[in-house]
Amino acid sequence: MAIREYFTIDIGGTYIKYAIVDEAFELKQQDKVSTPKSKEMLLETLYGLIGQHPELSGVAICCPGKVTSDGTVYYGGALPFMHETPLASLITTKFAIPCSVINDGKAAALAEHAKGNLRGVANGAAVILGSGVGGGIILNNSLLMGANDQAGEFSFINANIDTRPVAGQMVGRKLSAVYFVNECGRLLALENPDDGQTVFREIENGSDERVVSLFEDYCRKVASLIMNVQATLDIEKVVVGGGISSQPILVETIQSQYHQLIEEMGFFGEMLHKVDIEVCAYSNSANLIGALSYFKTVHS
């Protein structure tokens, strides 16, 4: 019996990543194209990519924003022009092929639970650091969608209730990896302040105390977020993803800051069971795998 293959697509703010993935979650022919800046052009791009593979068993998509069970995208995150787009229905109608759509943070959590560093973990979470802070929550071995399909949208957590305006205190801003790298790049007077590789070389070098301090504070905030999620859901493990997670020093420092927070809590820290913190096993490929994992639950 032939192994089924699927076309999986991860729509991001900068790139559309895509691959052929078989039912064992093995990726083939992985590639990417720049993300268009309008709904019409984005749909045209998707149709062109999918049309090259009419023989595949289905299309599995993940994207930012709130995504309902019927595959309709709301708000769109970094792609606000996708608001109220019935993406799954559009693709199924055009190609007569099964299609599913899920939020990208939830896809990452599903990938890690299916085959990554949340495998075998009944209660865990993925925290994805990008332009905002997305994620997904696994409870009792199942993905938590929530009453409004928005569980795991960590960006909406208020990081400091004592400071106004509230929008500036949201986790999505305070823990934005993009914003953090840019802030470091400007401190270092880089020609391109968004050059993450140079920023992390300087962090590892440790010669600029301003950047090292900013980095430690950033990791402390991520550790605080993990602690808040843990206190709310009593999870056992958190995996950290996003492009920034490819830097080993990131998760190492988050772990260190987390344990420091536990110590600072004194008696309260003794009562809190320590959560394991690891990097996402699949890094930038997690969303492609997770999109298919979700597809298989919808079209089993």
| 83-95: pLDDT as tens digits | 999 999 999 999 9
Q: Write the pLDDT tens digit of every residue in 199-241.
A: 999 999 998 999 999 999 999 999 999 999 999 999 999 999 9
Tokens 């106004």 — which residue? 164
Rounded to the nearest integer, the mean pLDDT of the chain is: 93
**Residue 1 pLDDT level (bands cut at 50, 70, 90):** low
Q: Report, as an integer, the average pLDDT of 41-69.
A: 95
Q: Write the pLDDT tens digit of every residue in 100-129.
A: 999 999 999 999 999 899 999 999 999 999
Report if pTM > 0.85: yes
Q: Which of 14, 147, 33 is nearest to 77 (CA)?
A: 14
φ/ψ region of 234 (left if φ > 0, alpha if ψ in -120 to 50, else beta) reads left
Q: Which positions ≥6 away from 251 have C-beta within 8 Å?
A: 240, 245, 277, 278, 279
**Residue 29 backbone dihedrals phi, psi, to 5 degrees:** 50, 45
Q: Which positions ≥6 away from 154 have C-beta within 8 Å?
A: 127, 133, 134, 135, 171, 172, 175, 225, 229
Q: What pLDDT was estimated at residue 131? A: 85
Q: How far is CA 61 from CA 13, 100, 287, 293, in A?
A: 14, 6, 9, 11
- 8 A C-beta contact, residue 154 and residue 229: yes
Tokens 């309008």 — which residue? 38
Q: Report the DSSP beta bridge partners of residue 14.
A: none
Range from 12-26, 188-202, 217-231 carrying the lowest mean pLDDT: 12-26
**Residue 18 pLDDT level (bands cut at 50, 70, 90):** very high
Tokens 């590789």 — which residue? 197
Residue ranges of domains in the chain, CATH in brackets? 5-107+285-298 (3.30.420.40), 120-280 (3.30.420.40)
Q: Write the pLDDT tens digit of every residue in 149-174.
A: 999 999 999 877 667 777 777 898 88
Q: What pLDDT was estimated at residue 291? A: 97
